[in-house]
Amino acid sequence: MSISLDGFVAGPDQSRENPLGRRGIELHTWHIGDARATEADATAADWLMRPPGAYLMGRNMFGPIRGAWDGDWRGWWGPEPPYHAPVFVLTHHAREPIEMEGGTTFHFVTDGFDTAFARAQEAAGGRGIDIAGGGSLVRQALLADVIDELTLDVAPVLLGSGERIFDGVGTFGLEPVEVLHSPLATHIRYRRP
């Protein structure tokens, strides 16, 4: 998760025009082509791309639509999303699965985090599960104590408001095992001891 110095993983006012909220894109310059990116940023980007058996994703990360599904929204990524595995989208609004090119199928789960996580575990078949985001879903995973490894990419940015992942999380329980840094972010990998 990319995170600001003041603890936000997305800026305020998320929308189709600003999927990461106002100024939220500033948290991600380390992996989206900034000329100042270094080898540390490339290594951290490789951590992102390790192929898991399945993904969990929140509704806000899948798209900007709030309430009942409106239209034929199929995600931000075009016809071939980068996941190439089953993706379980936690939502309050039912929807039929969407099969995409490259092996990605989005499954929409309305029965809560525990059900979504169990379905992802089953689909992963013993391989890892990546909790892709957004902030609310990562917070739920922290509260459910199911995270074995967490990477925080701390950008030298102050957003002032937006979405946090640690609000209401009483304990962390993970230890830092690796730290990389660049002018764009400090990448800290935490693992369960």
Q: What is the pLDDT of residue 14?
A: 86
Q: Quote the pTM value.
A: 0.91
> Do 65 and 108 touch, CB atoms closer than 8 A?
no
Burial 59-92 (b: 16+ CB within 10 A, else e): bbbbbeeeeeeeeeeebeeeeebebebbbbbbbe
What torsion do the CA atoms of 188, 143, 57, 54 make, to the nearest 10 degrees?
80
Amino acid at 71: G
H-helix or E-strand containing 190? strand 186-191
Q: What is the pLDDT of residues 163-186, one digit of tens each?
A: 999 999 998 899 999 999 999 999
| Structural domain count of the chain | 1
* Residue 75 falls inside a structural domain: no
Q: Is the Cβ–Cβ distance between 100 and 80 less than 8 Å? A: yes
Q: Is 189 helix (H, G, I), strand (E, B) or coil?
A: strand
Query: Average of pLDDT values for 61-80?
Result: 86
Residue 128 is part of which domain span?
Answer: 2-64+81-191
Instruction: Give domain status of residue 18, yes or no.
Output: yes
Would 72 be classed as within a structural domain?
no
Residue 76 domain-assigned (yes or no): no
Residues 77-123: tens digit of each pLDDT: 999 999 999 999 999 999 999 999 999 999 999 999 999 999 999 99
Cβ atoms 81, 100 nearer than 8 A: yes
- The CATH number given to whatever domain includes residue 132 is 3.40.430.10
Instruction: Indicate whether 17 pLDDT > 90.
Output: no
Domain-located, residue 89:
yes
Does residue 74 lie in a domain region? no
Contact 115, 140 (CB under 8 A): no
In 21-174, the DSSP E strands lie at 54-58, 86-90, 98-99, 105-109, 129-133, 149-155, 163-164
Q: Is the pLDDT reported for residue 51 higher than 80? A: no
- The reply to whether 42 falls in a domain is yes
Is the residue at 47 inside a domain? yes
